Chain A
Amino acid sequence: MSSKYRSPAMDRRSFVKIISSALGSLMAAVVGLPAIQYFISPSLGKEEEDEWISLGPLENYPLDTPTQFNFSLNKVNGWEKSSHSYGVFVLREEGKGVVVYSDVCTHLSCRLNWIPEEEEYLCPCHAARFDKHGNLISGPPPRPMDRFETKLDEGQLFIHLKEG
């Protein structure tokens, strides 16, 4: 190549290297950055559950013993419409009103069972035990059973379901 085409600043090889890396990085970015968004976008979507759920007339619940109530809500996740089931325990006590506990163990979210003979909640996963009022007796959970905010409307019991 004749010298009049030569740049004093840069030889052909360095020029090609720089251009190739620049174009390569650009193309990687054009696919790579959207790919990150593509992968994480469903994880960041607002999926807040915030509604009052009716548990029926308060008189239906016997005094002094936790009674299970199950309900399900329809949810859309991606392309799937599924129904998600929830379980709560309603404890009604004379003079103390009503408390509604979530059946989700505060350790790792297994579902608790009420064992009437023992007067305890037992978690099937790691044998955590809670008393009737949701206080931890033994096992790994970091806190007592979660409670729902409740309200009474014309004798009907409602709980406030909040998620997300």
Chain B
Amino acid sequence: MAQNVYDWLDERLGLQAIYDAILDREVPKVNWWFTLGSASLFLGLMQGITGILLSVYYVPTPDHAYDSITYIMTGVKFGWLILGIHHWGASLLILTAFIHMLRVFFYGAYKYPREVTWITGVMLLIGALGMGFTGYLLPWNQRSYWATTVGTEIAGSVPGIGNIILRILRGGTDLSALTLSRFFSLHIWIFPAILLAVVLTHLYLVIRLGISNIPDEDS
């Protein structure tokens, strides 16, 4: 029965071809360092899932943001787990993505024909850092507030256009309700939308080009 349903769908959707392309593609003999891209992808998915769950209770306004986080931590069953995964997963994701990048760099895997994969990878790192920067403000506690004060001030130190950058980031001269809501929007809509598109491009390129050999003495 299940086989019949699968065959019916496969004939129309080409599921087997997708499966083969993604999971049954040829790979050279590689080592554990090559698992970090998948690890980053997995952590990114977890961030998405836990982030969506957090949005059930979180509200991005100065009078309720902190209270809603406190409620998630103490009032909702397993809120501590969801927020904990999102909090620690964020740091872990930066770590795995960065080590993944070091692997690609030291193995020279960014070279022809994989330059675009590398470029999209750099965009993903910048996007992930942007997610970290915007997400850090959302709990609206002292640490978030001052970290964002300092962070936006650093952006404001750019010669000439610094002040306008600072104003654009904060939504005005002060760190305010406007800063919180625009960081929230960036964190849950704008960055994720961009990241999704770039992640899909990155994966498409990995599948299309295959992964490179570990360089040896002959190459």
Chain A residues with CB under 8 Å of chain B are 31, 34-35, 37-39, 41-42, 78-80
Contacts and interface: CB of A to CB of B under 8 A. Distances in A.
15 contacts: A31-B46, A31-B49, A34-B81, A35-B78, A37-B78, A38-B76, A38-B77, A38-B78, A38-B81, A39-B53, A39-B56, A41-B77, A78-B68, A79-B68, A80-B67
Q: Which of B57, B59, B75, B78 has the most CB of A within 10 A?
A: B78
B82 A35 contact: yes
A80 B76 contact: no
B67 to A, nearest CB: 4
Contact of A78 (B49, B53, B75, B78): B75
Given A34-B82, A79-B68, 4 more contacts: A35-B82, A41-B78, A42-B76, A79-B59
B68 A41 contact: no
A132 B76 CA distance: 45
A16 to B, nearest CB: 10
B79 interface: yes
Interface of B: 46, 49-50, 53, 56-57, 59, 64, 67-68, 70-71, 75-79, 81-82, 85
Contacts of A80: 64, 67
A34 B59 CA distance: 21
Nearest to B56: A39
B74 to A, nearest CB: 10
A41 B49 contact: no
B79 to A, nearest CB: 6
Consensus secondary structure, chain B interface: helix
A19 to B, nearest CB: 14
B71 A79 contact: yes
Nearest to B85: A31
Q: Which of B50, B57, B64, B76 has the most CB of A within 10 A?
A: B76
B67 A79 contact: yes
Pairs A-B, 9 closest by C-beta atoms: A34-B78, A79-B67, A41-B77, A79-B71, A37-B77, A38-B78, A79-B68, A78-B71, A37-B78
Contacts of B82: 34-35, 38
A79 B67 CA distance: 6
A42 B75 contact: yes
A78 B74 CA distance: 10
Contacts of B57: 78-79
Contacts of A37: 77-78
Nearest to B24: A13
Nearest to A37: B77
A162 to B, nearest CB: 24
A39 B55 CA distance: 11
Contacts of B64: 79-80
A38 B53 CA distance: 8
A80 B50 CA distance: 23
Nearest to A30: B81
Contacts of A31: 46, 49-50, 85
A117 B49 CA distance: 58
B70 A79 contact: yes
A39 B77 CA distance: 8
B70 to A, nearest CB: 7
Contact of A41 (B70, B76, B85): B76
Contacts of B50: 31
Nearest to A20: B23
A79 B65 CA distance: 9
Nearest to A31: B49
Q: Which of A35, A37, A38 has the most CB of B within 10 A?
A: A38
